[in-house]
Structure 1
Amino acid sequence: MRGSEVEAVAVILVLGLILVIVFLVKTVRIVPQAFAGVVERFGKYHATLPAGLNMVVPFIDNVRYMIDLRENVVSFPPQPVITEDNLTVSIDTVIYFQVTDPVAATYEIANYIQAIEQLTMTTLRNIVGGMTLEHALTSRDQINNGLRGELDGATGKWGVRVNRVELKGIDPPPSISDAMEQQMRAERSKRAAILTAEGERQSAILTAEGNKQAAILNAEGAKTALILSAEGDREAAILRAQGEAQAIGQVFQAIHDGNPDQKLLAYQYLQAMPKLAEGSANKVWILPSEFSGALAGLGKLTDGAADQA
């Protein structure tokens, strides 16, 4: 073969190899995990490629879109919303959504993210527009649930499911924020004053109750002490009276047993006389009528003793 013919054959082989490579590239399609490929044939939807290795007809089939099937998160910038009491608040939202139908997400809506953003704005204005500012600030869950329900119902035909809606922030105007801050400070001061007054009242009540109980206990203790003292005095008096009665009885019994005569009684009577003079208050003596009889008996006793001597 001549050199020119060899060169022609080499060029043909190279071109054939290039065509084979191009053919293989156009035929084999690798779809990543959690993605779906939308295939068009002659500009019309033909099939949906799952994740993994796929084969298509080269130069006829075209993988037009690669749709992400994972849950996506998109944050929308703050939007001004007018409340029922004509106050403008700025609300920014976060949407969690997922494509469930790649074909619908491709052909039913041109840009489903932009559509979700616009639908979120209008729905949020409708929901918050029927609330006062205070109600909107304290009803995040209600707004989230209402917004999610409206979005999920509208995006279902687009092959998109809205899983969750969150309000990142509800920012009232600065003047309203200052007024609310002053109101909260006043409420906190009011609650602190009420709690302080309640504490002082409870303290006074407890102190009074304690003093009352202490007074009652002291009175009961004094009463018990007086009762016990009186009972002790009574028992002592009874015992003294019983002792004196026993002593008198024993003395009387001893005298009765001794059978004393008149002389002995007169002598005992004279021995008791000095005791009558004891004490500084005994200045006047009153002698009983029996005293003369006792002296007479004693005189007779002494005269008899002298005669015997």
Structure 2
Amino acid sequence: MNDTDLIPTVVTIAIVVVIVIFVLTILFKSIRIIPQAYAGVVERLGRYHKTLTPGLNILVPIIDRLRPLVDMREQVVSFPPQPVITEDNLVVSIDTVVYFQVTDARAATYEIANYLGAVEQLTTTTLRNVVGGLNLEEALTSRDNINGQLRVVLDEATGKWGIRVSRVELKAIDPPASIQDSMEKQMRAERDRRAAILTAEGTKQAAILNAEGERQAAILKAEGDAKAAVLRAQGEAEAIQTVFHAIHAGDPDSKLLAYQYLQTLPKLAEGESNKLWIIPSELTEALKGIGQGFFAPRDAAGPGTDAFPRA
């Protein structure tokens, strides 16, 4: 075989190789595997043809073109802080976080050029409209209300883009530095006031408990004194009753009773206010009897004679 015979053979082999490579390339381009949670938009001859779902998909080579895949998962986007003017003309810096999900890959591809940037701009303008109608105090204390209004407006506006806004959160609302300083002073004053109230309440409760304890102690002491007085009175009554029975049992005469009364007179006179003595008439009669008993012997001995014999 000469060289002229080899040329057709080489050309044939080259053509076969080219055809095989072309066929393999066509097959490779016609087969597309879409990952889970993604969707692919297919254009045929420049127009929308269909949306590919996760799994194995077949395309027509040359006439079909696959657009970049669309992430169908819920996405979280944190936007940089935005300056917002409140109703009372104070500039606050608000940091927002938006949770959204693409529900229609075709609308997200053809209805909006950059849906992520559109969501950011729409969030900023809606936030300014909502917060602009609130004063600073309302903006700081109405986060849930602001979040709800933002979510409703964003979800309604992004619905035609094939996007569903599920949640909007305000991460931070930072008022001006001067307002922050005033708020910190107010918070410190409030904490000091609460501490003073708690201290006063504690002191009050302690005073109440001390007073209650003293009252109970006084009541117990008074009850003890009363019981002691009753016992003393009962003892004195029993002693008097015993003496009374002893006196009556001994059948004393009036002279003995007068003598006993004279013995008690010094005790009656111990008080400073006892300046008047009351002497019963029975006692005077008894004293006369005692006097007659002492002076009768002297009278019987006669004048000038002592009543008692001298030694």
Q: Distance in 2 between matches of 1:152 and 1:146?
A: 10
Q: Secondary structure at the match of 1:212?
A: helix
**Greater Cα shift, 203-212 or 153-162:** 203-212
Q: Distance in 2 between matches of 1:158 and 1:13?
A: 49
1:36 aligns with 2:39: yes
Residues 195-210 of structure 1: matches in 2 within 5 Å? Answer: 195-210=198-213
Q: Which residue of 2 aligns with 1:95?
A: 98
Q: Distance in 2 between matches of 1:211 and 1:237?
A: 38
Q: Which residue of 2 aligns with 1:181?
A: 184
Q: Which residue of 1 aligns with 2:234?
A: 231
* Gap runs ≥5 in structure 1: 250-275, 280-284, 293-309
1:147 aligns with 2:150: yes
Q: Distance in 1 between matches of 2:224 and 2:25?
A: 114
Q: Which residue of 1 aligns with 2:9?
A: 6
Deviations 1:166-217 (A, max 9, x none): 1111111111111111111122222222222232233333323332332222
Residues 219-258 of structure 1: matches in 2 within 5 Å? Answer: 219-242=222-245, 248=250
Q: Output the amino acid matched with 1:201.
A: K
Q: Distance in 2 between matches of 1:115 and 1:60?
A: 31
**Greater Cα shift, 104-113 or 183-192:** 183-192
Preserved CA contact (<8 Å) 1:34 1:51: yes
Shift of 1:35: 0.4
1:59 aligns with 2:45: no
Q: Which residue of 1 aligns with 2:194?
A: 191
Residues 120-135 of structure 1: matches in 2 within 5 Å? Answer: 120-135=123-138
Q: Which residue of 1 aligns with 2:22?
A: 19
Q: Secondary structure at the match of 2:88?
A: coil
Q: Which residue of 2 aligns with 1:270?
A: none
Residues 99-114 of structure 1: matches in 2 within 5 Å? Answer: 99-114=102-117
1:80 aligns with 2:83: yes
Q: Secondary structure at the match of 2:68?
A: strand
Q: Distance in 1 between matches of 2:13 and 2:241?
A: 152
Shift of 1:243: 5.9
Q: Distance in 2 between matches of 1:230 and 1:28?
A: 121
Q: Output the amino acid matched with 2:173.
A: I
Shift of 1:241: 4.0
Q: Which residue of 2 aligns with 1:170?
A: 173
* Gap runs ≥5 in structure 2: 252-259, 264-289, 298-311
Deviations 1:38-73 (A, max 9, x none): 111111111111101111111111111311011111
Q: Which residue of 1 aligns with 2:139?
A: 136
Percent identity (aligned): 61
Q: Distance in 2 between matches of 1:103 and 1:248?
A: 135
Shift of 1:242: 4.5
Q: Secondary structure at the match of 1:59?
A: coil
TM-score, normalised with respect to structure 1: 0.77
Preserved CA contact (<8 Å) 1:39 1:65: no
CA RMSD of aligned residues (A): 2.5
Q: Secondary structure at the match of 2:87?
A: coil
**Greater Cα shift, 193-202 or 23-32:** 193-202
Preserved CA contact (<8 Å) 1:79 1:121: yes
Deviations 1:270-305 (A, max 9, x none): xxxxxx9xx9xxxxx85749x98xxxxxxxxxxxxx
Deviations 1:234-290 (A, max 9, x none): 234335544665x549xxxxxxxxxxxxxxxxxxxxxxxxxx9xx9xxxxx85749x
Residues 243, 15 of structure 1: CA spacing in aligned structure 2 closer, same or farther, 3 A cutoff?
farther
Aligned residues: 259
Q: Secondary structure at the match of 1:131?
A: coil
Q: Output the amino acid matched with 1:129.
A: G
Q: Output the amino acid matched with 2:106.
A: V
Shift of 1:233: 2.6
Q: Which residue of 1 aligns with 2:71?
A: 68
Q: Distance in 2 between matches of 1:243 and 1:16?
A: 155
